[in-house]
Structure 1
Amino acid sequence: MDNVPLRVVIGVGGGIAAYKACHLVRYFKEAGHVVHVIPTHSALNFVGAATFEALSGNPVSTDVFDRVDEVQHVRLGQQADLIVIAPATADLLSRLATGRADDLLTSSCLVATCPVVVAPAMHTEMWEHPATQANVNTLRHRGTVVLEPAHGRLTGHDTGSGRLPDPEHIGSLALAVARCGRDIFPQSLKGKKVVISAGGTVEPLDPVRFLSNSSSGRQGFALADVAAQRGADVVIVKAHTEQLSLPSGARIIPVKSAVDLHNAMDEHAEDADIIIMAAAVADYRPTQVAASKMKKGMNDSALTRIDLTQNPDVLAGLVNRRRRGELKEGVIIVGFAAETGDAEHTPLEHGVDKLSRKGCDMLMCNAVGDGKVFGQDDNEGWILVSQPEDQPPLISEVNASAKIDVAIQIWDCVETLMFAE
């Protein structure tokens, strides 16, 4: 669906974060979609109509009595393929929940049959107030997708939950809803702690050089995105990644080397309900790390020969800790395998072997190389689910899809395991 232009309505509430809606408009326009912006009257106190008109290429109004001859208060909502409201203030959430139709935005939402994605933004106390939470629950019950707000700096000196996520983050989640359906973010992981490793570990040779890999961290972050939107308490053990929008509300534990990642995973896995090892962890590290930069001509042998030692097997170590009863009872452990295949075995065969050796519950096997997966927007491969009594694993093929869509498929499989009798 990303290649098919959508008719997107972007609603803008009257909060300080309204300026971020400008970036959201640009995000959808640059993706090739047709955008109409409907601000509330209060939103125009923060960003003028002329700005939204220039960015969207379409006229902007707030009143149901504008362009009455075109029945605009009905037409925009009826024709939309996707409605995204960002920011949604506490007042706007209340009006949406009670079915108000006193401006163009709420009227458009009432007639819409397309997915509606709402990104709240307000002070923490307002977000956590029982009235706001009741309105959110009402909207979700009716099928509206209400995203979890981010945690961070708010207006003034406040810090907490209620910050509007980055526009690219909102846009990516909203397009996933348009592709996969409005029911992809149920609150099915509420009360669950999820620990996810992401990115590629860095093994230093000297203060300048290091050994690493091409992992961008996008798949791990996409998994965290979906978990957070399904209500989980998410911890990301983050190795080296690209510049990525942080998943809403997730706690970030930065690490560098495989040993750092091993220690962080051991610490945060103790009370986890689900552990996902999506990071690309180096199997080996240099036995010695030079204290100063190794220069050509001074010690050429140090640059042409690198002695390596094996890193801890983080995934196998977590499975062994579970067997010893050191982790939470019933914890689900998911691994990843980046495989290229060889003369004797396909990537899938290597993945099946890894699942058996590691002893995890599930494994996502990727065929990498030749520009596939690492650093790309899409992912593909196979989801392998362990079966009891040495039976072969269940295998589900994952066709090339956006990494957020792959994350949804992975989480659906994880929840099937979690809630199996």
Structure 2
Amino acid sequence: MKIKRVSEFVSIKRTVENGTDEQLLAVKAIIGNVKKDGDSAIRIYTQQFDGASLESFTVTVDEMAEAYGDIDKEMVLIMQEAAENIRSYHQKQLRSSWMTTEENGTILGQKITPLDSVGVYVPGGTAAYPSSVLMNVIPAKVAGVERIVMVTPPNQNGKIPAAVLVAAHLAGVKEIYKIGGAQAIAALAYGTETIRPVDKITGPGNIFVALAKREVYGDVDIDMIAGPSEIAILADDTARANEVAADLLSQAEHDERASSVLVTTSESLAQKVAAEVAKQLAELPRKDIAVKAIADFGAIYLARDMNEAVKAVNELAPEHLEVITENPMELLGKIKHAGAIFIGRFSSEPVGDYFAGTNHVLPTNGTARFSSPLSVEDFQKKSSIIMYSEAALKENGAKIATFAREEGLEAHARAVEERLK
């Protein structure tokens, strides 16, 4: 990894994946065909893109039972414990409706209501991501969403990885379909003969899934358009080079466009980490991916002091931020922008990815400046409550009418004045 001074710091921005013109046209065509032909279009695209010929794409009770037979029992127990940790953390995010009464009898408040239905997209095919199931479904369940639909692409045999199905069962999903890609997003947004539409779609996917989510946004809500993963590590000379290097590589193996950055006040640590990254890279199964990511989006920055280091980290606004310093809690108040903050040597990024209970669906590419991790609030909506009293209207009606006329809205003014006659 290259070692530079923070004065040379350049916020590592990856180009937002807007897709090519061809990809966008393909996604629009797929969405149009699913809206027009429903299940028939889904079957055609599932055969074309996943190589699976399915008469029905609904996951059955028998398939769920078979999944439990195909997975290691210890893994089931681990997922159960992870699910409980995630549930416990997200229950603390629950908010209640509230109302206040003014002296003149006016009642104002806010009503919190869970969404009726949510669709969760889980990447699949050759890979299995049970953690993605838990992180998307459990906050929705905690929020009180009654109908949660999961979609995930099958393999060529029409199967879904056992771990994904077991995770869905543990999280409480009862409606699962073996479909993926832009066609799955279209089905969730607009419905087919088999699938009723939902109100919001969450979950990561490839460029076609991302473009489809962007295309249907407005007809339904979406969580975010997630970019490649990223990690920043803020460290001093108390950090251990082998551990820092391992954490940097934990994100580099995700994607060729993943970003791994160390910001440190220690030149000795910087040099040791650079050597350790090279050493550990040679032993990684996903070496080719990690090498490209480190070369293109990896860097080590040297800061004069911790204030300069923190300023650089805040400018980066990383998805994951690890703070490995002598007194990491002392820096927490200075950190303004990060999706998730991992404090101390033993808080390695994968702890949050899988088990601690916090959500691993996080803002990327600098969007932590203004957005937050997936949470219970993403599956609830708020309604304002206004109950104006007669006394309040008599006191303020003329002011309201004047304000309305200032904007040229005479009917607004008269709607109030009719009640004052």
Normalised TM-score (structure 1):
0.29
Decide which structure has the larger Cα Rg and report it.
2
Normalised TM-score (structure 2):
0.29
More helix by share: 2
